[in-house]
Amino acid sequence: MSNAHAANKSVLWDWLTTVDHKKIGILYLVSGGFFFLVGGLEAVLIRIQLMNPEMTFLTGNLYNQVLTMHGTTMIFLAAMPIIFGFMNAVVPLQIGARDVAFPFVNSLGFWLFFFGGVLLNLSWFLGGAPDAGWTAYAPLSTTSTGHGVDFYVLGLQIAGAGTLMGGINFLVTIINMRAPGMTFMRMPLFTWTAFVTSGLILFAFPALTIGFFLLMFDRVFEANFFDANMGGNAIIWEHIFWIFGHPEVYILILPAFGIISEVVATFSRKRLFGYSAMVFATVLIGFLGFMVWAHHMFTVGLGPVANSIFAVATMAIAIPTGVKIFNWVFTMWGGKIRFTTANLFSVGFIPTFVMGGVTGVMLAAAPADYQYHDSYFVVAHFHYVIVGGLILGLFSGLYYWYPRMFGLMLNEALGKWNFWTFFIGFHLTFFPQHFLGLMGMPRRYFTYPEEFGLGSLNFISTIGAVFMTVGTIIFIINVVVTHAKGKKVSGDPWDGRTLEWAIPNPTPHYNFLQTPLVRGLDALWIEKMAGNKKMTPAEPVGDIHMPNNSILPLIMSLGFFIAGFGFIYYSSAGAPALIAIIVGLGIGLACMFLRSWIDDHGHHLHKEDLLKEDKGVDA
């Protein structure tokens, strides 16, 4: 870093105050990765308990806590942040921007997520974690004793606020900060999916926010929104949760679709087949995603008309999804395919996700769902789409963009071990669960009797979990090995097609010395085909305006974290909790005031310094 004043301060301070999208991306990735390991550990504990009939390793309420925290952690604290990590690391580069639209808000979004996640997990040490499932259905959640569910509500409320900010930030970034020539229909597909996902976040998360407020009022302030005895209605919680929840599953999967589209095209050395159909399918999936939530509630008793409508709407989503599958296959068709680790994960994704989609359509048949519902069949379905879909996609993205993010190439030999152990382990774990479900094993029970004959399939499933654990450990070893003695690579190690590969390695602080001129889809590839070594610049070299770092986002989030504690203990601790609420919210408001009051115009990097620095890096 050439920045003279940045070098004076400590590295730690730099990371705590950074507003650089590349660093925030790494922060998201590392903390999301940490929570992924925590959630994975919880999963292994669950699988050990279910390995044999009538085990007593992890039972009763503790099992419920581990189960709840596994799901909640994986969705909100692992999957979402890692997606945001990629969006931060990649989207500004893909559209030729120097940062996101609101760098300060970006940092705030990260710290809110981080403190929300910490708050939720502190419940383990403070009297017990939430135990009402990641869906927190009332009245189970409203009557759950202790403070576990309070931690769930407040922790996720804070983390969710961060997610909402992130979503808005990326919408504005993609709309406003594209380089000259980067029209919407020239945007790489990952950017498109990031855009649609951000839109879904904007429309879906407010429903969850409201739901959490109602749940919080029921639990903390003795309101009765979900209490039937007092004129409330517990079903409303289910509706609100799934009005958020189904769009949420598309928030998760769309960026994975984007990653697969980039990786498959790059490693087939072909333009993505049916680009505009892919864009249209992405938007359509996003839209339809809002119209199907009640398919999670077929057995609630909505009646045959409502069930039929939601069943048909749900099945309709399979059509744009199928379009995507065919387009990936056609992209590979006749391509010069290289089976790098990144591409292995992508190619493994395609059939795996198809299987998850097929069970999805099976579940969408309302009368049949009366059999499948709340059985291990549903568990198998959503793990096929989330682990076999999203997580394989995320691994693919990691291997693909690691050189961009860290300037180093992950070891390919270890990568292949990583893929095969994880991939085989995944199918071994979850394929048998379809049959366990059909044989009648209910979801969320901590054991099953010997006579039911569920033992052997459960045993196989646990062995599969061991394989996945090995795969994850190999990945961690790979990261350590890579950073210990990995080779520096050029800025374009894969012979890439999109703008993020037009940048030297390591990525300069300001991304692009000159904003590039985009002349079509796969902007870099077009220049390569035209025989150009570099992107054509859209501007002369000049001073670059960059935002200043700030510690306020961290302190503001800390304030809400303290207030969160106050709300959690308000119903049992009284006055001290009230003090925590006032102090915490006070800190938050004070930070907002400071942010508005202090004029911060950022700083300029000067042309002369930039030119000097540019000579130093490889081209």
302 binds, among Cu ion, other proteins, ligand HEM, none (CB under 5 to 8 A by kind): other proteins
Residue 408 backbone dihedrals phi, psi, to 5 degrees: -125, 155
Encoded one letter per residue, x for contact with ligand HEM by CB under 6 A and - for no contact, window 131-160 reads: ----x-------------------------
From the list 483, 487, 488, 545, which residue makes contact with other proteins (rule: CB under 8 A)?
545
Find the distance separating the first CA and the last CA of the chain, reported in whole Å. Answer: 17
**Does residue 599 touch other proteins according to CB under 8 A?**
yes
From the list 189, 196, 252, 394, which residue makes contact with ligand HEM (rule: CB under 6 A)?
252
424 binds, among other proteins, ligand HEM, Cu ion, none (CB under 5 to 8 A by kind): none
Stretch that binds ligand HEM, among 155-163, 223-231, 249-257, 428-436 (CB under 6 A): 249-257
Give the Å distances, CA to CA, from 457 to 284, 443, 452.
38, 15, 11
294 binds, among ligand HEM, Cu ion, other proteins, none (CB under 5 to 8 A by kind): other proteins
From the list 369, 500, 522, 527, which residue makes contact with ligand HEM (rule: CB under 6 A)?
369
**Does residue 357 touch ligand HEM according to CB under 6 A?**
yes
291 binds, among other proteins, Cu ion, ligand HEM, none (CB under 5 to 8 A by kind): other proteins
Applying the rule CB under 6 A, the residues between 382 and 421 that interact with ligand HEM are 382, 385-386, 389-390
Residue 611 backbone dihedrals phi, psi, to 5 degrees: -65, -40
Is residue 516 helix, strand or coil? strand
From the list 46, 546, 554, 577, which residue makes contact with other proteins (rule: CB under 8 A)?
546
317 binds, among Cu ion, other proteins, ligand HEM, none (CB under 5 to 8 A by kind): ligand HEM
Q: How far is the CB of 293 from Cu ion (least distance, A)?
A: 7
Q: How far is the CB of 329 from ligand HEM (least distance, A)?
A: 17
**Does residue 314 touch ligand HEM according to CB under 6 A?**
yes
**Does residue 373 touch Cu ion according to CB under 5 A?**
no
Which residues sit opposite 537 in a β-bridge?
Answer: 516
Is residue 545 helix, strand or coil? strand
Q: Kindly tell me which of 130 and 286 has the beta carbon lying closer to other proteins.
A: 286
Q: Which tokens go with 517? A: 């001129």
**Does residue 238 touch ligand HEM according to CB under 6 A?**
no
What's CA 174's distance to the chain center, in Å? Answer: 18
Is residue 605 helix, strand or coil? strand
Q: Kindly tell me which of 114 and 377 has the beta carbon lying closer to ligand HEM.
A: 377
The Cβ of residue 278 has, within 10 Å, a number of other Cβ atoms equal to 23
From the list 178, 246, 270, 404, which residue makes contact with Cu ion (rule: CB under 5 A)?
246
Q: Is 126 exposed, middle or buried (0-12, 13-18, 19+ CB in 10 A)?
A: middle
List, in order, residues 6 or more apart from 575 with CB less than 8 Å away: none
Q: Kindly tell me which of 335 and 440 has the beta carbon lying closer to ligand HEM.
A: 440
Stretch that binds Cu ion, among 90-98, 209-217, 238-246, 298-306 (CB under 5 A): 238-246
Amino acid at 140: L
Applying the rule CB under 8 A, the residues between 104 and 163 that interact with other proteins are 104-105
Q: How far is the CB of 201 from other proteins (least distance, A)?
A: 12
CA gap 56, 54 in Å, rounded: 7
From the list 55, 302, 318, 578, which residue makes contact with other proteins (rule: CB under 8 A)?
302
Q: Kindly tell me which of 248 and 522 has the beta carbon lying closer to ligand HEM.
A: 248
User: Residue 604 is inside which H or E element, if any?
Assistant: strand 603-605
Q: Which tokens go with 245? A: 């929840």
21 binds, among Cu ion, ligand HEM, other proteins, none (CB under 5 to 8 A by kind): none
List, in order, residues 6 or more apart from 597 with CB less than 8 Å away: none
Q: How far is the CB of 210 from Cu ion (least distance, A)?
A: 19
From the list 50, 66, 194, 294, which residue makes contact with other proteins (rule: CB under 8 A)?
294
Rg (CA), the chain: 24
Q: Kindly tell me which of 367 and 574 has the beta carbon lying closer to Cu ion.
A: 367
175 binds, among Cu ion, other proteins, ligand HEM, none (CB under 5 to 8 A by kind): other proteins
**Residues in the chain, total:** 619
Size of the site for other proteins (CB under 8 A): 37
User: What DSSP character marks residue 544?
Assistant: E
Single out the residue of 356, 470, 348, 491 nearest to residue 417, CA to CA. 470
Q: How far is the CB of 357 from ligand HEM (least distance, A)?
A: 4
Q: Kindly tell me which of 312 and 480 has the beta carbon lying closer to Cu ion.
A: 312
Q: 559-571 burial, b for 16+ CB within 10 Å, e for fewer? A: bbbbbbbbbbbbe
Beta strand 603-605 pairing with 544-546: antiparallel
Q: How far is the CB of 180 from ligand HEM (least distance, A)?
A: 36
Q: Which tokens go with 448? A: 């099953």
364 binds, among ligand HEM, other proteins, Cu ion, none (CB under 5 to 8 A by kind): ligand HEM
- Give, to the nearest 10 degrees, the angle between helix 21-50 and helix 455-485: 150
From the list 22, 186, 219, 239, which residue makes contact with other proteins (rule: CB under 8 A)?
239
- Give, to the nearest 10 degrees, the angle between helix 80-94 and helix 392-406: 50
From the list 138, 220, 364, 405, which residue makes contact with ligand HEM (rule: CB under 6 A)?
364
CA gap 553, 560 in Å, rounded: 11
User: Residue 546 is inside which H or E element, if any?
Assistant: strand 544-546
Is residue 555 helix, strand or coil? helix
List, in order, residues 6 or more apart from 159 with CB less than 8 Å away: 76, 77, 112, 113, 115, 116, 117, 120
Amino acid at 610: L
Q: Kindly tell me which of 244 and 525 has the beta carbon lying closer to Cu ion.
A: 244
Applying the rule CB under 8 A, the residues between 195 and 214 that interact with other proteins are 199, 202-203, 207
List, in order, residues 6 or more apart from 465 with CB less than 8 Å away: 43, 44, 47, 425, 429
From the list 548, 582, 586, 593, which residue makes contact with other proteins (rule: CB under 8 A)?
548
Q: How far is the CB of 348 from other proteins (least distance, A)?
A: 34
Single out the residue of 300, 174, 190, 194 nearest to residue 237, CA to CA. 300
Single out the residue of 537, 550, 541 nearest to residue 606, CA to CA. 541
Residues that bind ligand HEM (CB under 6 A): 135, 249, 252-253, 295-296, 314, 317-318, 321, 357, 360-361, 363-364, 369, 372-373, 378, 381-382, 385-386, 389-390
Residues that bind other proteins (CB under 8 A): 98, 101-105, 171, 175-177, 199, 202-203, 207, 233, 235-236, 239, 243, 287, 290-291, 294, 302, 306, 515, 539, 542, 544-548, 599-602
